[in-house]
Structure 1
Amino acid sequence: MAGNTDPLSARAKLAVTAGKAAAAVSRAAGRGSGSVIGGKVALRLEPDLLARLSTHLDVVLVSATNGKTTTTRLIAEALRASGPVVSNALGANMPAGITSALAGGSDAKYGVIEVDEKYLAGVARDVDPKAIALLNLSRDQLDRAAETRMLAERWREGLAGTKAVVIANADDPLVAWAASSCPNVIWVAAGQQWKEDSWSCPSCGGVLQWSGDDWGCGECGFRRPTPSWALSGDHVLDPHGAAWPIKLQLPGRANKANATTSAAVAAAFGVHPQTALERMYDVAAVAGRYDVVSFSGRELRLLLAKNPAGWLETFSLIDAPPAPVVLSVNARSADGTDTSWLWDVAYGRLAGHPIFVIGDRKLDLAVRLEVAGVDFRVCRDLDEAVAAAPPGRIEVIANYTAFQDLRRRVGN
């Protein structure tokens, strides 16, 4: 890590000040946190600002289709055992948002940064990370990134030869192929429930053969790397074979996988697995995800699911019928405007639940549920859905902008 010499020139300091002012104006106008516009203003004044802001930090980059916001939060909590952390905790994960986050971290030792998949290689060049965590790749925002293998190739080429320690999910063939160009990889068996984007070999195009979580290509020989860290039930297995209990407030198998990767990252910075995992227990919700709120006299749990892989993991969190479920789907630019992914989600798993459908694209979702043979009711908004729902805690599942709409409506 660099010394305490101030890395910022007068121009860079001016850029930081201008960015913070722009963010403050945005917040005052009720247009959100202001992190994106603040970063854009700062980068316009000093294009090298991201690199300058990170010179005094040991940086961890976290990228994936699903789970990167939660994993970023878990890693940040673990590393706070060893020093102060700056992080883009609200999920603004493109260069402008990352710049805004780092601008507030002059006293930090570590930077734990979530990065959008398309921007990972560029951000890695700018901030010279000590570690990069790669969790998974699957179909998402089909109008913006339609081909997952192309994204994996971008990672593979952009990260080739990196000096960073790469902590990568051995159970995802696309991630394994992307990371295999890196000289220093720590492989984690974190699981891969969604396999629909992993039937062909990313190396040669042949058919991958699966046996449980193990996979390999019979044509070119590319196969699952041997992991040194693994999720085993409710425990993390470290490279020495020791088992460390996972105790999280966050629900589900996916979050145990996130915790396993986070423990491996923390260990690369000298934080003991037991210490890291104990600190992760303090995380009860992440940017509203998993929050249980009161609304109109009812208890609602807010769940985010942005793409088929995310919906699959979320379904495993839902209590058995007859727990009522509200589904909300939008297709704004932040979600991706192509809703054809709805047909990749196994909505039949919700059979038996009272289902209420809302959101901008509620009719698209209604058609999908009709074909799946699932009973549902289309509602005008959350208020109507909650009023119509039978007794019991209501599970509310929404994609990205629909989730933000719901948080505003319930005052979360």
Structure 2
Amino acid sequence: MTMKIIDRLRLGLAVSVAKSVTFLVRSLRLGAASVLPGSIARRIEPRLLQLLSQQVKNGVIIIAGTNGKTTTALLLRTILENKGYRVCHNSTGANLENGLMTALLESTSLVGTLDVDYAILEVDENIVPKVLKPLQPRIILCLNLFRDQLDRYGEVDTISKRWTKVISTLPPETVVIPNADDPTLSLLGQQLQQKVLFFGLNEPEHYLEAIPHAVDSIYCPQCGHPLNYQGVYLSHLGDFTCPSCGFSKSQPALASSEWSQILVGLYNKYNTLAATTAAIELGVDEATIRDTINNFQAAFGRAEDLVVDGKRVRILLSKNPVGTNETIRVVTQSTDKTTLLVLNDRTPDGTDVSWIWDVDTEKLVERGGTLVVSGDRVYDMALRLRYSEKSADSNLNLIVEEDLRQAIAKALEQTPPTETLHILPTYSAMLEVREVLTGRKIL
């Protein structure tokens, strides 16, 4: 990329200031400096995102969606690094504009040179339309669209329409990889002129017994008629057709049954397939992909396993109805009987916690055992669990503890040495839980 001298000077100044801010923040242990450096550098050079992304040798890969961004991004990054590529990635999960800039700045030299092969950027679904033009991505992974923080975003069809409009303006060589099992994203891919590769499941043995309560899109996104589902895998993701207009699920590029996964939960099979489809498109050989999948470790808080005081702990991020239903499915499929639920209502979580009433907590309660609840909205969660009891004489041991450290201690105390303590926290709660368990901050 050719830049004018004045542009290089401004970029160099922005980078130098950002790196100084990063050093100060980390030296003073004020956090991970995952957002502030980008925010300040952007004031010096408003085109920072564009100027840095244009230097990425093999292109920018955007990963967008409600659930699964961090796991998918980490898996794809690991695959590419195992092939010897240098990859820039916003691994802390800071997925708004300033976070994206900070991630790129992290790999930039003092004079503003970004020497990486790929940039993998997790992008908040609400800002996708704002960053596509400056980033000019090579690949866009569209994982799913679920209700999440309705106080900020609105319904899924609003977001999908905005995505379709802006993606359609990108160059024809842009590769879009949507989830075929999500009706809104399946239609999105069918409407684009760019190269589209779908991913999805073809394993009917994993169908749910019924469509869950926390379902977001059972109507045809093309004509509005109720869809006919042959079966659903989770929420509204499944095999569907529209009896009115003929719209149906798109054909995935890969047969999901031929690809294994190492992480727990069917939702992680989607993450695996998304990363695999992208890696194959980038020319990575199948042997490297399979070897990476078989040795992959979860990102922090996403089916992450820890050992605390000799006991196994598994953290399963649970930040919306669909995600929480899936983590509950993981818990109920195990033989472990102790679960800690931590509900916060801070800005990263969404201030509206009414979504917990769309979660199938009945499945967690009816198996009995011990449920410990904590967090800023501990009594909201406790009330939800009490309403999930079908009889007054249930064998549920419900422990309500406002103090998170005490809640973790009590949950560990209730967990036998031969079992695993499952912790289901919202996003900010997950960061707090990890700090308590490991003694280290993430952000």
* TM over 0.5, shorter chain: yes
Q: 1:361 aligns with which of 377, 382, 404?
A: 377
Asked if residue 316 in structure 1 is aligned to residue 329 in structure 2, the reply is yes
Q: In the alignment, is the contact (CA less than 8 A) between 1:167 and 1:188 conserved in 2?
A: yes
Distance in 2 between the 1:357 and 1:166 partners? 41
Q: In the alignment, is the contact (CA less than 8 A) between 1:322 and 1:354 conserved in 2?
A: no
**Alignment correspondent of 1:239:** none
What amino acid is aligned across from residue 173 of structure 1 in structure 2? P
Per-residue deviation, 1:209? 1.5
Within 5 A, what are the aligned runs for 1:17-32? Answer: 17-32=16-31
**Alignment correspondent of 1:340:** 354
**Alignment correspondent of 2:110:** none
Q: 1:121 aligns with which of 119, 123, 129?
A: 129
What amino acid is aligned across from residue 411 of structure 2 in structure 1? V
Secondary structure at the aligned position of 1:27 is classed as: helix
Structure 1 residues not aligned, in runs of 5+: 237-245
Distance in 1 between the 2:85 and 2:18 partners? 26
**Alignment correspondent of 1:398:** 425
| Shift in CA distance, 322/301, structure 1 to aligned 2, threshold 3 Å | closer
Within 5 A, what are the aligned runs for 1:234-313? Answer: 235-236=258-259, 246-248=260-262, 250-296=263-309, 298-313=311-326
* CA-to-aligned-CA distance 1:16-59 (integer Å, 9 cap, x gap): 11122223333334332112111111111111111111112211
Distance in 2 between the 1:345 and 1:363 partners? 16
Secondary structure at the aligned position of 2:134 is classed as: helix
Mean CA deviation greater in 97-106 or 371-380: 371-380
Asked if residue 187 in structure 1 is aligned to residue 198 in structure 2, the reply is yes
Per-residue deviation, 1:295? 3.5
**Alignment correspondent of 2:101:** 99
Distance in 2 between the 1:287 and 1:157 partners? 34
Secondary structure at the aligned position of 2:98 is classed as: helix
Per-residue deviation, 1:292? 2.6
Asked if residue 155 in structure 1 is aligned to residue 163 in structure 2, the reply is yes
Q: TM-score, normalized by length of structure 1?
A: 0.90
Secondary structure at the aligned position of 1:210 is classed as: strand
Secondary structure at the aligned position of 2:247 is classed as: coil
Secondary structure at the aligned position of 2:99 is classed as: helix
**Alignment correspondent of 1:215:** 240
* CA-to-aligned-CA distance 1:135-171 (integer Å, 9 cap, x gap): 1000111211121110111111111142310011100
Q: 1:142 aligns with which of 150, 153, 170?
A: 150
**Alignment correspondent of 2:139:** 131
Per-residue deviation, 1:258? 1.0
What amino acid is aligned across from residue 272 of structure 1 in structure 2? D
Q: In the alignment, is the contact (CA less than 8 A) between 1:298 and 1:386 conserved in 2?
A: no
Distance in 2 between the 1:61 and 1:326 partners? 33
Q: In the alignment, is the contact (CA less than 8 A) between 1:141 and 1:336 conserved in 2?
A: yes
Q: 1:173 aligns with which of 166, 177, 183?
A: 183
| Shift in CA distance, 383/128, structure 1 to aligned 2, threshold 3 Å | same
Distance in 2 between the 1:13 and 1:277 partners? 41
Mean CA deviation greater in 341-350 or 152-161: 152-161
Q: In the alignment, is the contact (CA less than 8 A) between 2:60 and 2:139 conserved in 1?
A: yes
Secondary structure at the aligned position of 2:217 is classed as: coil
Per-residue deviation, 1:298? 3.6
Structure 2 residues not aligned, in runs of 5+: 108-113, 232-237
**Alignment correspondent of 2:254:** 229
| Shift in CA distance, 158/186, structure 1 to aligned 2, threshold 3 Å | same
**Alignment correspondent of 1:198:** 217
| Shift in CA distance, 151/316, structure 1 to aligned 2, threshold 3 Å | same
Asked if residue 383 in structure 1 is aligned to residue 394 in structure 2, the reply is no
Q: In the alignment, is the contact (CA less than 8 A) between 2:147 and 2:216 conserved in 1?
A: yes
Q: In the alignment, is the contact (CA less than 8 A) between 2:199 and 2:254 conserved in 1?
A: yes
Q: In the alignment, is the contact (CA less than 8 A) between 1:7 and 1:52 conserved in 2?
A: no
Distance in 2 between the 1:4 and 1:69 partners? 33
Asked if residue 370 in structure 1 is aligned to residue 386 in structure 2, the reply is yes
| Shift in CA distance, 390/78, structure 1 to aligned 2, threshold 3 Å | closer
Distance in 2 between the 1:197 and 1:95 partners? 27
Q: In the alignment, is the contact (CA less than 8 A) between 1:156 and 1:178 conserved in 2?
A: yes
Q: TM-score, normalized by length of structure 2?
A: 0.84
Asked if residue 349 in structure 1 is aligned to residue 363 in structure 2, the reply is yes
Q: 2:339 aligns with which of 307, 325, 329?
A: 325
Secondary structure at the aligned position of 2:150 is classed as: coil
Mean CA deviation greater in 221-230 or 336-345: 221-230
Distance in 2 between the 1:68 and 1:6 partners? 37
Distance in 2 between the 1:291 and 1:36 partners? 24
What amino acid is aligned across from residue 170 of structure 2 in structure 1? T
Distance in 1 between the 2:381 and 2:61 partners? 38
Q: How many residues align?
A: 399
Q: In the alignment, is the contact (CA less than 8 A) between 2:339 and 2:411 conserved in 1?
A: no
Distance in 2 between the 1:108 and 1:387 partners? 43
Mean CA deviation greater in 335-344 or 378-387: 378-387
* CA-to-aligned-CA distance 1:261-292 (integer Å, 9 cap, x gap): 11110111111233123123343120243333
What amino acid is aligned across from residue 379 of structure 1 in structure 2? E
Per-residue deviation, 1:82? 5.0
What amino acid is aligned across from residue 252 of structure 1 in structure 2? G
